[in-house]
Chain A
Amino acid sequence: MFGYYLQLAWRSIKKTPVMSALMVLALGVGVAIVMTMLTLQHVESNNALAAKNEQLFYLQLNSSPADELFFGSLENGMPRMVSYRTATTLLKSSIPSHSVAMFRSMFVLSMDDADYQPGSIVGRVSSRDFFSLFDVPFIYGKVWNKQADESAKYQVVIDQTLNQQLFGGGNSVGKTLRLEGKPYQVIGVVHDFMPVPSVQDLTMGKTGGNTHLYLPFGLVRAEQLTPYGQKSCAASDANQDVELGMSANEAFEVELQNLCIWLQFWAELPNADAKARYVDYLQQYFNEQKKLGFFARDFDYALSTPQQWLNLNHVVSNDTKVTTWLALVFLVICIVNTVALLTAKLWRQAPEAGIRQALGASRGAIFVQNLVEAGFVGILGGAFGILLSQVMLMVVRSILANNGAALLGTDSSIYSTDSTMLAVTVLVALISSVLAGLYPAWQVSRTQPAHYLKVQ
């Protein structure tokens, strides 16, 4: 029976090609646009740390001075980063199984090889737990030792891409590169860690937190490293002023001990108990520092999971969200449009239904036959929609590629539909088609055959 209904549906579609094409087109365009927007949103909000989402926490402390909020404070009222003084103290706590204090810094990279054209490179200056906390596996060598986080050790860890670029790949442990003219020894090569958005550091946009080069935290003081990116200071910070006649070292020491915020801090807390103890520890530290006059406000903190951190930083832009809502309204318009046309079309075929009914077909059979025809249009529309959404994503990719996305480190290839999105696509197409077909099929099945027999 089903085959016969399909045949009837096909015949009916062929009878009104323009009208049928219009319905398939409308449904297809609606599905395609919603799909494209959902994919964009899905990609923009991707959580690369989902596997450890319950254990990793980004730390914010209520460290703004009494009379103003730090520039760029988030909507939970707390600044995005912590100061060097806070970070170095918190790193000493043994409650988290791993903790990381880090920031981006800019270097001039050169090689002893005279043919190598020197250039600037952004490196991540971090404590050694970075690789274990974010699960970045080593290919060769290992991470720097604990001392390198406290005193200057001229060592670096590079990733596969940079290893390929500088040394042509292979085991480069022990080889040398130069930063600001000084020799640094490669002690490890890791897999590329380039999540989009760069959840580990969202201070510099969607991908700004990703780097190919990692340096030990102990270099900060020795090399007077400063962040390449955000740094916020408070005018009312009494610790801030650099006195006239201070040496460069003394002046930098002031920068390390003042309230200015420029480091990101992550802690890995394996269970609720550890988290509770850590909060106690934070409170103790905070109140102690408040007594010393370092902090001005009352204790408050935020420990955000990677997902919460992504949401808090609005990685999905409002523009994308608004456009997605408009796309959904548009899909509703397309469905309404298809329902209207289908109703009219099936209604026109009501005399045929009347005859079939008079010849003994049950109401259910008429309903199913019309639903098959409606569903057929819907499935064609859905299939067309999936096809069209792939074309649209291809266009998005090419626009991104042309816009110099490579320059920003945005990998345009990420804008492709994954399996989840494909499942949602099929679902949206199916639901729209059923929605579009249900009503007209039911209506036609309720017609009185006698009425049409009379007219004929």
Chain B
Amino acid sequence: MFEFGPILRTLWRNKIGASLIILQSALTLAIVANATFVLQQRLQLINQPTGIDEQHLFTIDVKPLGQGLFSVGEIQRDTLELRQITGVVDASYISDKPLSGSYSQSNRNAQDDDTTFTISLNQLTTDPHGLHTLGVALEQGRFFNDSDMVRDLKEGKVVVISRGVADAAFGEGVNPIGQQITTFGLPPTGKHKQALKDSQLFTVVGVAADANITSVASVNDGVIFLPFYQPDKSVTYLIRCQPSQCNQLMLAVPQKLKQLDNHRIITGVSTVMSNKDELLRADHTMVVMMMAAIVLVSSITGLGVIGLTLIWVNRRRWQIGVRRALGATRMGIVRYFLMENLLVTSIGLCFGVILTLGLNQLLVEYYQMQALPLSYLLLGMACVWLLGLSAAFVPALRTTTISPAVATRSI
């Protein structure tokens, strides 16, 4: 019933046409499978929740006009006033703008009695309202209170760490509350005890839920919160607004700050979402590029198959007529062409698997991409199969219009 014999013999007579389609479907698979994989990875990164209330946050920079550092009194007054504005859920002082990709990071090799491990974390300095403003939950213990806050880190006594840092520093399941830790996330245990004897140690008073605060993807173990007003020439405030109040507040907050003290410049009012978009711009571009690649490759290959099948059908009108005259049904002829297409595409896919894996290998080796999972290869194969079949379907249907009389007419 599947006329493999005649199909193969016909293809053999038309080696070039067939091998071109084989090559084309192989290359198509290579692109479709790899592009889909890259696309999926980027979408995952873009849609991954960060764990902070990113939709309702914005930041604002304040700089004094003259020289000198920002005073703690000024910061406390500003944040207190900001919290009074209607529509503001909370406001706080923060050292780094969330999701801006700008942060202070430390990577330290820690040595246990026999193992070496790396703790890498972001240091974020903020005030007692910081965690609530970000919208990150407190899992254990407490966050800072006013008496914890210092101007000089050397006077600091307590820190709050995120769950990831707690697990990395003390081990999973160990209660971190009350433990000692350095600002680099190192616990004074094992061999460290000696090495860190002169380092300043802080007591962990709270554990925050894991969240990507400074960067979109988690690039490290987590965050260590320091109760510290950095002596600086400028200051950044983070404001969390009630739903749909952000737009109005982005105008009201600068006004309020100007009103409190006019002798300073207020710049950089930006939503955390706009920071996030900026950070993910390359990924958004890549998503568009990959989608375009998939659509273009599919349409070119699809149109190519349609065109070629059309020509083949036309060239074999006489052959089809003869077959019809000898009793072949219309559906039999259609099936013949579809089978032929399926066979050619399948051979192409066999080569395509090699090409796809080869291309992926190059991407992994030279461009730090990840290895292609098998599921994407199978998905890609199914897509190319379907593409070939549906493209061949239209011209194949045309054969039904060829009447058996063609066989008698042509000779």
Determine how close the nearest CB of chain A comes to the CB of B96; give it in whole angstroms.
14
The stretch of B142-150, B300-308, B334-342, B370-378 that contacts the partner chain: B300-308
Q: Known A235-B106, A336-B27, A344-B307; judge A180-B66 contact (CB<8 A).
A: yes
**Bound-complex Cα distance A421 to B155 (A):** 61
B24 touches A333 (CB 8 A): yes
A337 to B21, CA, bound (A): 8
Q: Is B86 an interface residue (CB 8 A)?
A: no
Contacting B at CB under 8 A, from A303-358, are 317-319, 321-323, 325-327, 329-330, 332-334, 336-337, 339-341, 343-345, 347-348
Contact of B20 (CB < 8 Å), options: A244, A325, A339: A339
**Given A119-B265, A330-B293, A439-B16, A403:B281 Cβ within 8 A:** yes
Residues of B close to A180: CB separation below 8 A: 66-67
> Contacting chain A: which of B166-174, B240-248, B309-317?
B309-317
Number of interface residues of B (CB under 8 A): 53
Cross-chain contact of A244 among B105, B154, B285, B310 (Cβ < 8 A):
B154
Report whether A344 and B312 are in contact in the complex, using a CB–CB cutoff of 8 Å. yes
Q: From residue 47 to 75 of chain B, which have CB atoms closer than 8 A to chain A?
A: 63, 65-67
Would A120 and B31 be within 8 Å (CB), given that A340-B304, A439-B16 are in contact? no
Main DSSP-derived SS at the A contact region: helix
Please state if B17 and A343 are interface contacts (CB–CB under 8 Å): yes
With a CB–CB cut-off of 8 A, which chain B residues contact A25? 303
Q: Which of B20, B282, B362 has the most CB of A within 10 A?
A: B20
Contact B66 A340 (CB under 8 A): no
Cβ contacts under 8 Å, B67 to chain A: 180-182
Asked if A344 and B35 sit within 8 Å, CB to CB, the answer is: no
**CB of A203 within 8 A of chain B?**
no
Q: What residues of chain A lie closer than 8 Å to B315, measured between beta carbons?
A: 347-348
Q: CA–CA, A336 to B352, complex, Å? A: 15
Check if A326 sits within 8 Å of B35, measured CB to CB: yes
Contact A337 B304, beta carbon cutoff 8 Å: yes
Taken together as a complex, chains A and B put the C-alpha atoms of A244 and B282 apart, in Å, by: 45
Q: Tell whether A33 is near chain B: CB-to-CB under 8 Å.
A: yes
Among A29, A68, A334, A336, the residue within 8 A (CB) of B109 is A68
* Chain B CB within 10 A, most for which of A67, A319, A325, A345: A319
> Which parts of B291-333 form the interface with A (CB within 8 Å)?
293, 296-297, 300-301, 303-304, 307-308, 310-312, 314-315
Task: Say whether A22 faces chain B, with CB atoms less than 8 Å apart.
Answer: yes
A118 beta carbon closer than 8 Å to chain B:
yes
Contacts of A327 in B (CB 8 A): 293
Q: What does the 1/0 interface line of B4-18 toward A look like (CB < 8 Å)?
A: 000000000000110
- Answer yes or no: A108 CB below 8 A from chain B CBs: yes
Contact A181 B34 (CB under 8 A): no
Q: List A contacts of B343 (CB < 8 A).
A: none
**Judging by beta carbons under 8 Å apart, are B359 and A329 in contact?**
yes
Q: Contacting A29 at CB < 8 Å: which of B63, B184, B300, B359?
A: B300
Asked if B23 is at the interface of the complex by the 8 Å CB criterion, the answer is yes
A118, A182, A323, A343: the one contacting B289 at CB < 8 Å is: A323
B137 on the A face (CB < 8 A): no
A110 within 8 A of B: yes
If the complex has contacts A33-B296, A235-B108, are A337 and B301 also in contact, measured as CB distance less than 8 A?
yes
Does B286 reach chain A (CB closer than 8 Å)?
yes
Task: Please tell me which one of the listed residues B267, B285, B310, B366 contacts residue A119 in the complex, with CB atoms under 8 A apart.
Answer: B267
The reply to whether the CB of A26 lies closer than 8 angstroms to some CB of chain B is yes
Report chain B residues within 8 Å CB of A67. 109
A330 to B297, CA, bound (A): 7
In the complex the two chains form, is B304's CB within 8 Å of A181's CB? Answer: no
Which one, A319, A333, A347, contacts B27 given CB within 8 A?
A: A333
Report if B107 contacts A (CB, 8 A). yes
Known: A326-B31, A403-B281. A337 touches B63 (CB 8 A): no
Cα A22 to Cα B299 in complex, Å, equals 11
Q: Which residue from chain A places its CB closest to the CB of B369 in the assembled complex?
A: A322
B360 to chain A, nearest CB (A): 11
Bound CA span A241–B108, Å: 18
**Chain B residues with CB below 8 A from A341, complex form:** 304, 307-308, 311
| Contact assessment for B38 and A322 in the assembled complex, using a CB-CB cutoff below 8 Å | yes
For B236, the chain A residues whose CB sits under 8 A away are: none
What chain B residues lie within 8 Å of A22 (beta carbons)?
Answer: 303-304, 307
Could you tell me the distance in whole angstroms from the C-beta of A437 to the nearest C-beta in chain B? Answer: 14
Q: When the two chains form their complex, are residues B24 and A120 in contact, meaning their CB atoms are under 8 A apart? A: no
| B2: Cβ under 8 A from any A Cβ | no
Chain A residue nearest in CB terms to B24: A336
Residue numbers in B under 8 Å from A319 (CB-CB): 282, 285-286, 289
Chain A interface bracket (under 10, 10 to 19, 20 to 34, 35 or more): 35 or more
Contact residues in A for B297 (Cβ distance below 8 Å): 330, 333
Interface centre among A119, A321, A322, A332 (most CB of B within 10 A): A322
Highest count of chain B CB atoms <10 Å: which of A26, A120, A336: A336
**Shortest distance between the CB of B190 and any CB in chain A (Å):** 16
B304 touches A26 (CB 8 A): yes
B363 interface residue, CB < 8 Å from A?
A: yes
Q: Does chain A have a CB within 8 A of B28? A: yes
Q: Which one of A26, A30, A340, A341 has the highest number of Cβ atoms from chain B below 10 Å of its Cβ?
A: A340
Given A325-B362, A337-B24, A71-B105 contact (CB < 8 Å): yes
Interface residue? A413 (CB, 8 A): no
- Given A326-B35, A341-B304, A344-B17, the answer on whether A29 and B296 have CB atoms closer than 8 Å is yes
Question: Does A147 reach chain B (CB closer than 8 Å)?
Answer: no
Decide yes or no: A26 and B300 within 8 Å by CB, A181-B66, A339-B20 being known contacts.
Answer: yes
User: A1-60: which residues lie under 8 A (CB-CB) from chain B?
Assistant: 19, 22, 25-26, 29-30, 33
Complexed CA–CA distance, A283 and B289 (Å): 48
Contact across chains for B107 and A318 when beta carbons are under 8 A apart: no
The answer to whether A340 touches B265, judged by C-beta atoms less than 8 angstroms apart, is no
Contact assessment for A329 and B65 in the assembled complex, using a CB-CB cutoff below 8 Å: no
Chain A nearest CB, measured from B376 CB (Å) = 15
* Min CB gap A198→B, angstroms: 18
| Known contacts A326-B34, A341-B304; is-contact A348 B311 (Cβ 8 Å) | yes
> In this complex, what residue of A is CB-closest to B27?
A333
What mask results when residues 351 to 384 of chain B are scored 1 for a CB within 8 Å of chain A, else 0?
0000000010011001111000000000000000
Which residues of chain A have C-beta atoms less than 8 A from B369's C-beta?
318, 322
Residues of B within 8 A of A336 (CB): 20, 23-24, 27
A249 at the interface (CB under 8 A from B): no
B16–A322 touching, CB < 8 Å: no
Question: Which residues does chain A contribute within 8 Å of B38, judged by CB atoms?
Answer: 322
Chain B residues with CB under 8 A of A119: 265, 267
Kindly identify which residue among A26, A108, A334 contacts B63, using a CB–CB cutoff of 8 Å: A108
Chain A 163-222 residues near chain B, CB threshold 8 A: 180-182
Cβ contacts under 8 Å, B30 to chain A? 329
A340 engages B17 (CB within 8 Å): yes
Report B80 CB to chain A, min CB distance, Å. Answer: 25
Residue of A with least CB distance to B281: A403
Closest 9 CB pairs of A and B: A340-B20, A344-B311, A337-B304, A318-B367, A181-B66, A333-B27, A336-B24, A341-B307, A26-B300
28 of the cross-chain contacts (CB-CB < 8 Å) are A19-B310, A25-B303, A120-B63, A120-B265, A180-B66, A181-B65, A244-B154, A318-B368, A319-B285, A321-B366, A322-B363, A323-B286, A327-B293, A330-B293, A333-B297, A334-B300, A336-B20, A336-B23, A336-B27, A337-B20, A337-B24, A340-B304, A340-B308, A344-B17, A344-B308, A345-B311, A403-B281, A443-B16
Known interface pairs A22-B303, A322-B367; 9 further A-B residue pairs with C-beta atoms within 8 A, sorted by A's residue number = A29-B296, A120-B267, A181-B66, A235-B108, A319-B285, A319-B289, A325-B363, A326-B293, A337-B303
